[in-house]
Structure 1
Amino acid sequence: MHRSASRLTRVLACAAVPVILTVAGCSSDSGKDSGTKGDKKSGSSSSAKPNPKSSKTLEKAAFATLPDACKAVQTATIDTLVPEAKDKNGTATPSNDPATRVSCYWTGLDEDGLKGSQYRWLSLSFFRSDSHATLGDANKRAGEQFNKQVEVAKTTEGAQDPKAEAVGEIGDQGTSVVYTVKKDGTDHFNTTVVARTQNVVITLDYNGAGLEGAGAPDHAKLLQDAVAAAKEAVASVGAANKAPAEAPQSPQPQ
């Protein structure tokens, strides 16, 4: 009887305290043991689960090398786009990191006496992205750079009525942006072609103007020539990363 009363007292006391305390202080010895074992089991199970973020493998960049920007288009193409080019070999723009950024430009003034002169300016730049644990895969980063370059072209200072259009069959992505900029009273017709091939973004800027009474250049022809040159530039990226052919082995002496 004394034992029953004592046991009843314990039960009532436990019922009066919060549930958390009941589990901690009023469970039976067997409950404690099973709880401890459960905690250990739960802890080991939790620590064994892999972290999906840490286990993700970044995609390797498709292209590890950039071409020589001044040799990325053919000499015949330079003759077409920039008649009477000051330097057909182009002028390379200094780069702090040639493995990531390279560029080149050409200028030309085709004079025709009293009929005036035709001015042309062409620049070509390459930007290569690598895969980065924090910033993402190389192709994803190149896609972001592609969009950025298109926006830069559309928001060029002084650009009048910029129009952007998708360009097909030019790498993985291609967009042209055309607009007019007035300089010293003369309309300069500008064309920018931005293309992406895997992890490399190519930006080609091409503009022309008729000076000293010369007629304005055909804007549609400027765009056509710029797209053709951009396709050559895209192809040059693949060529720069092509593995050299294996040298033929000399016959072994018998």
Structure 2
Amino acid sequence: MTVPALLLTGCSGSDDGGDDDKSDGASESSAASPAPVKFKSLPDPCKAIAGKTVKDVVPGVDKETGKKLKTADQDRYNSCLWTGLDDYDYRSLTVSFHRFESESGGASGDKRAREQAAQLQDSVSANGSNKAIKESRLDGVGDKATGISYDTEKKDGKKSEDYREHRIVVLSSNVVLTVDYSAAGFEGAKRPSADTVRKDAEKVAKEALSAVK
């Protein structure tokens, strides 16, 4: 039922209450509106780095275009894998993008991305089989970029091999880019140095991030 304006005026000594109600309503509406995100889509991870880069960091790569890993929603999360064996030198590279939307009345896409980035970093040290873990900052890449180098042992049947690994986690607004780069020397071949693995991973991260638009 509509209340006459004169009655409302007579029941109130001032207009302050009405203004407060309007202000409260606007605040509630604002709180319920999700913050806009910068990135609305993701690039194809298998096309995020050039074929020349792939051949440089994955010698003997079996397929330059990589293998796109299946995910439920390619526009929210996608990933591409390259592997290669050159004589006894083995390399594996995975490039992954994770995009977050803002939640209505909840966390912004940027905040959700920051939380995911932190989890990806922490998961390396949380794995007890990873050794010689060392973190480093990668300046000038995205809003924040962290590199984690570590060694690990992987078993294949009765054999086991020592791998040199490097993960880079890049945060850019509501998108998280992850580069996982792995190197091993089979049959006693020498592994590359941690510094070499780091530099190759950083080259991939910088190139892949430029594909996010």
TM-score normalized by the length of structure 1: 0.72
Query: What residue in structure 1 maps to residue 84 of structure 2?
Result: 108
Q: Which amino acid aligns with 1:169?
A: G
Deviation at 1:192, TM superposition (A): 0.2
Deviation at 1:144, TM superposition (A): 1.4
Specify the alignment match of 2:195 in structure 1: 220
From the CA coordinates, give the structure whose radius of gyration is larger. 1
The CA RMSD measured in Å over matched residues stands at 2.1
Query: Quick one: which amino acid aligns to residue 174 of structure 1?
Result: A
Report the Cα offset of residue 170 of structure 1: 1.1
Alignment check: 8 A CA contact 1:182 1:188 kept: yes
CA shift in 2, pair 1:155/1:55, >3 Å: same
Moved more, 117-126 or 48-57: 48-57
The letter of the residue matching 1:167 is: L
> What secondary structure is seen at the aligned counterpart in 1 of 2:211?
helix
* 2:58 corresponds to: 82
Describe the SS at the equivalent of 1:217.
coil
Aligned ranges 1:92-103 → 2 under 5 Å: 92-103=68-79
Q: 1:60 to 1:182 in 2, by over 3 A?
A: same
Residue 170 of structure 1 corresponds to 141
Residue 88 of structure 1: SS of its match in structure 2? coil
| Residue of structure 2 in register with 1:186 after alignment | 161
- Considering fraction of residues, name the structure with more strand: 2
Aligned equivalents of 1:173 and 1:53: distance in 2? 32
SS state at 2:212 partner: helix
Q: From 36, 43, 54, give the equivalent of 1:60.
A: 36
Q: Choose between structure 1 and 2: higher helix proportion.
A: 1
1:204 equivalenced with 2:179 (yes/no) = yes
Q: 2:105 aligns with which of 134, 144, 149?
A: 134
The DSSP-based 3-state class of the residue aligned with 2:52 is helix
Query: Partners of 1:129 and 1:235 in 2: how far apart?
Result: 18
Q: Deviations over 1:162-197 (max 9, x none)?
A: 222221111111001111002244320010000012
TM-score, normalisation: structure 2: 0.85
Structure 2 residue runs without a partner (length 5+) = 1-9
| Equivalent position of 1:159 in the other structure | 130
Q: CA deviation at 1:39?
A: 8.7
SS at 1:107 equivalent: strand
Deviation string for 1:133-186 (max 9, x for gaps)? 233222122111111111123323510132222211111110011110022443
Q: How many residues align?
A: 198
Aligned to 1:237: 212
CA distance in 2, matches of 1:77, 1:90: 12
The structure showing larger relative contact order (alpha-carbon pairs under 8 Å, at least 6 residues apart) is: 2
In structure 1, distance between residues paired with 2:67 and 2:28: 45
1:223 to partner: Cα distance:
0.3
For residue 59 of structure 1, report the CA deviation from its aligned partner: 3.0
The answer to whether the Cα contact below 8 Å between 2:34 and 2:106 also exists between their aligned partners in 1 is no
- Report the residue type matching 1:61 in the other structure: V
Unaligned 5+ residue runs, structure 1? Answer: 1-35, 112-116, 239-254
User: 1:72 pairs with 48, 51, 56, which one?
Assistant: 48
Percent identical residues? 31
